[in-house]
Structure 1
Amino acid sequence: MGSTSPSCRGHRYPAEVISPCVWRYFRFPLSFREVEELMLRRGVIVSYETVRRWCAKFGQAYANGLRRRQPRPGDTWHLDEVFIKVSGELKYLWRAVDADGTVLDILVQSRRDKAA
Structure 2
Amino acid sequence: MAARGVDVSYETIRCWTIKLGPLIAKRLRKKRWPPTPRWHLDEVVCNTGGKRMFLWCAVDDEGEVLEVLVQRRRDTEDALKLLRRLLHNQ
State, as a whole percentage, how many aligned pairs show the same letter.
38
| Counterpart residue number, 2:86 | none
Alignment of 1:11-22 (within 5 A): none
Higher CA-based Rg: 1
Cα deviation, residue 69, structure 1 = 3.4
| Counterpart residue number, 2:61 | 99
Q: Which amino acid aligns with 2:53?
A: K
Q: TM-score, normalised by structure 2?
A: 0.56
Q: TM-score, normalised by structure 1?
A: 0.45
Aligned residues: 68
Write the distance in 2 (CA, Å) between the matches of 1:84 and 1:94. Answer: 11
User: What are structure 1's unaligned runs of at least 5 residues?
Assistant: 1-38
Give the superposed CA RMSD: 3.0
SS of 1:67's equivalent in the other structure is helix
Normalized per residue, the structure richer in helix is: 2
Normalized per residue, the structure richer in strand is: 2
1:43 paired to 2:4: yes
User: What are structure 2's unaligned runs of at least 5 residues?
Assistant: 81-90
Cα deviation, residue 100, structure 1 = 0.5
2:37 to 75, 85, 108: 75
1:84 to 42, 46, 49: 46
